[in-house]
Amino acid sequence: MCSMRHCEMTGGVRRTPVDSVAAIALALASGAGALDHLVMTHPLNPADAIFAEKLRSALPDGTVFDATARYLEEPRGLYAGRSAVVVKPRKVEEVATLIRLAGEARVGVIPYGGGTGLVGGQVASEGPAPLILSMERMTAVRAVYPDENVMVVEAGVILEDVQRAAEDADRLFPLSLAAQGTARIGGNLGTNAGGTGVLRYGNTRDLCLGLEAVLPDGQIWHGLTRLRKNNTGYDLRHLLIGAEGTLGVITAAALKLFARPAQTGTALLVVDSPAAALKLLSMARSQFGEMVSAFELIHRQGFDFLTEKMPEVRQPFATPLEWSVLIELGLAADMDPQEGLERLFGDAAEAGLVHDGLIAQSSGQAADFWTIRESIPEGNRRVGSVSSHDISVPLGAIPEFIIRAGEQLAAMGDFRINCFGHVGDGNLHYNVFPQVGRTRADHENQRDAIKACIHDLTHELGGSISAEHGIGRLKVGDLEKYGDPAKLSAMRAIKAALDPLGIMNPGAVLRQ
C-alpha cells in the first residue's frame, strides 16, 4: 500500500627568451604534434632554490614559501606531489610577474585552489618540482550588484563565502558541493564544477559572466565584464573555464546571482527503479517547470554504508529501500511546497512510480535529508572503493546503464555497488566496492578491467567518462581513448598556441 509520512526527523607582458622563438614557431605551425615536440626539445626545469630566490626578489616579502604537506596531497591519496615552491600572491599583478618569471625559467606552474579536486589536477607526482600558485590570499569580494544579479569575487574566495555574500545581498549563488566549505571559486571555475543545482542553474560555466586571468605569457586579460550580451569574437571565458589551469590562471570572476526562492520544499521519495525515478522527474518538471532545484538518486547501498561507517548520521527509514529520490523545489511566494509535494506524491503513487516517502516539515528536517546525501561520499571513502567513476549518460539511458553495468560486473566477481548522483542532469557516481570481509587490495588486479567496463559502456551509450570532476592527471589516458580525435587535435593546437613552453599545469588534461 502506498503511504506518505511527514518527516519527524529533526602585471607585465613576458619577453620570450630568444632560444624559444623557434620552438614557438614550430608549435604554432605543427598544431597537434607541437606539445610532444616542445617537451622533447625544451624540458621543464625544477622550481629550485635559485628560482625561488628570483621570485623573492621580484615579489613582496612573505609571498614565497617552501611547500608543506597540504600542498602535496589530494583527497584520494592517489598522488603525492614533488617538493616544490609555493607562492601566495595578493594581487593579479603579482600573479603576472610570477608567471612571466616561470616562463623565462621554464618552470611548471600548478594553480592551487582548495585542494579538493578528485582527479589529481592540483598535484604533480612526476616531472621536475613545479611552482605551486596558491590563490588563498586573493579572497576579496570586490563588488556586489544586487539589482544586476552580479557579484565580482577573487579566485581564492571559498565557495561557502560566495554563497554567504550572496545571501547577505538577499540573492542566491546556486553552486553547491559537498566540499563547499573548502573549495575555492577559482578551482570551481577551472574544473567547471557541477554539484546538486545543475538541473536548475547549470554548471559553473553557466554561472559566470566574465573573468580576469593571467595568460601563459604573463599578460593580464581584463575580461571581468558584467555584460550578458557581448558578441565580440572568441569567448576566452569559456576557453579558460574547465581548462584546469592548463591555459592560464583565473584570478577573479563576475558571477551570476539569482533571486532566492520564496518557498523551499524537500522530500525523500521511495521509487521502484531508476526508470521510475526518471518518470517521476518528468512528472515533477511538468508540474513545477524549472522550479525543480535538485533531483538526486540514492541507492540502498549508500544507506548501508552510512549505517556501517557513519552511524551518527540519522537515517529516515528503519529499513532502507532499494531506490530513493531526494527532490527539492524552490517555489514562488504564492505556492505551498507542502501542498505541491503531497500532490506530486499522490499523482506519482497513482501512476505506480512511488510507494513511500517523507516530506521535511522544517528547514532543519530538510537539512537532515541533505546531510544523508552529502555524507554518502565520505561513507564510500571509509569503506574504500575498488574503482570509482564520475560518469554521465543521456537521461533516457540511465536505466539501461545501471542494469547492464551491474550484469557485467557480476560476471567479473562479487562486488557491492553504490550508484548515486545527480540523476536530474544524467550524472552518476558509480562506485564499486569489495564485499564484507574483503578489501580493495584483494581486487587490485581487477581495477583496470572494472574501469574499462564502466567507461566502455558509458561511451557506447553516448555518455562522458568525466561528468563533473574533470580530467586532471587521473583521466588523461581515458580522454585519449574515448575523446573525439578532432576535438583532441584542436585542444592540443590551442594548448600549443597559448602555452608554447608548456608551463601551465603540465601533465594535466593533455599528456606532456
* pLDDT bracket for residue 23 (50, 70, 90): very low
Is 15 a residue whose pLDDT tops 50?
Answer: no
Which helix or strand (DSSP H or E) is residue 66 part of? strand 64-66
Which domains does the chain carry?
18-136+491-498 (3.30.43.10), 141-259 (3.30.465.10), 263-460 (3.30.70.2190)
Angle between helices 34-41 and 21-30 (to 10 degrees): 160
Q: Which of 329, 304, 271, 349 is nearest to 1 (CA)?
A: 349
Number of other residues whose CB lies within 10 A of the CB of residue 70: 11
Is 14 a residue whose pLDDT tops 50?
Answer: no
SS (H, E, C) 277-339: HHHHHHHHHHHHHHHEEEEEEEEHHHHHHHHHHCCCCCCCCCCCCCEEEEEEEEECCCCCHHH
Is 485 a residue whose pLDDT tops 50?
Answer: yes
Let me know: does 27 contact 492? Beta carbons within 8 Å: no
Q: What is the pLDDT at residue 33? A: 56
pLDDT tens digits, one per residue of 76-113: 888 888 878 999 999 999 999 999 999 999 999 999 99
pLDDT tens digits, one per residue of 208-250: 999 999 999 999 999 999 999 999 999 999 999 999 999 999 9
Average pLDDT, stretch 128-138?
96
Apex 477 CA angle, 37 and 490, nearest 5 = 55
Q: What is the pLDDT at residue 77? A: 83
Strand order in the sheet with 390-392: 5-6, 354-359, 263-271, 323-331, 292-299, 415-422, 427-434, 390-392
- Collapse the DSSP code of 464 into the 3-class scheme (helix H, G, I; strand E, B; otherwise coil) and give the result: strand
